[in-house]
C-alpha cells in the first residue's frame, strides 16, 4: 500500500523519492495509541513507569518492539493492565486503534499485533501511588 501512495505522490509532483520511517517513530505512535486505550495502565519496562511518568512525554519504548518491512508493520507490545478491565477487549481495541492510526499517519499496514500482559494494577495500588506523589 505504501508503494501505491508513493507512486501517486511522484506522479503528481514529478519528483522521484522514497518515503521511509525510523522504527522509533512507529514505536512513538504505538505508545501514544496504547496510552489512550482504557484499561492499559502502562507499557512494561518503558514509557510509563508510574503516574508521574505516565503524564510526561518521556520517550522510552522498551516494551514495544516493531518490525517494518516494505509496507507492513508487526508489533510486540508488553503492557500492565488495570484490574477489572476485560483484557480481550483491551487487545481488540489496541489492535483496531493501531491499525487505523498507523495506516492514517504512515500508509503502512499493521499485519500483526502480539500483546504480552506482564502485570496487573489494582485500583487501591493506584490510589496509594497518587497519595505518595
Contact status, residue 94 vs residue 37, Cβ threshold 8 Å: yes
* In-domain check, residue 92: yes
CA 53 vs CA 29, 41, 50, 61: distances in Å: 17, 12, 6, 13
Q: How do residues 70-86 score in pLDDT, each as one tens digit?
A: 899 999 999 999 999 99
Rounded to an integer, the average pLDDT of 95-106 is 97
Per-residue pLDDT at 49 exceeds 90: no
Give the range of the structural domain holding residue 110, as residue numbers without chain letter.
21-132
Helix axes 87-106, 23-35, angle to 10 degrees: 140
- Residue 121 CB neighbour total at 10 angstroms: 15
Position 89 in a domain: yes
Quote the percentage of the chain above a pLDDT of 90: 58
Question: Pick the residue with more confidence: 48 or 128?
Answer: 128
**How many domains are contained in the chain?**
1
- 97 domain-assigned: yes
Given a contact cutoff of 8 angstroms between Cβ atoms, the answer to whether 82 and 126 are in contact is yes
* SS3 state at 29: helix
In CATH, what number is assigned to the domain containing residue 80? 3.30.70.1350
Amino acid at each position: 500500500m505504501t508503494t501505491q501512495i508513493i507512486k501517486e505522490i511522484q506522479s503528481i509532483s514529478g519528483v522521484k523519492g522514497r518515503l521511509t520511517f525510523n522504527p522509533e517513530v512507529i514505536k512513538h505512535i504505538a505508545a501514544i495509541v496504547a496510552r489512550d486505550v482504557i484499561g492499559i495502565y502502562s507499557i512494561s519496562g518503558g514509557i510509563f513507569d508510574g503516574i508521574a511518568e505516565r503524564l510526561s512525554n518521556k520517550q522510552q519504548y522498551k516494551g514495544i518492539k516493531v518490525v517494518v518491512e516494505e509496507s507492513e508493520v508487526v508489533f510486540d507490545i508488553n503492557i500492565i493492565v488495570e484490574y477489572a478491565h476485560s483484557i480481550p477487549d483491551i487487545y481488540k481495541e489496541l489492535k483496531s486503534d493501531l491499525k487505523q492510526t498507523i495506516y492514517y499517519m504512515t500508509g503502512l499496514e499493521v499485519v500483526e499485533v502480539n500483546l504480552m500482559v506482564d502485570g496487573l494494577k489494582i485500583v487501591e495500588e493506584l490510589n496509594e501511588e497518587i497519595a505518595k506523589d
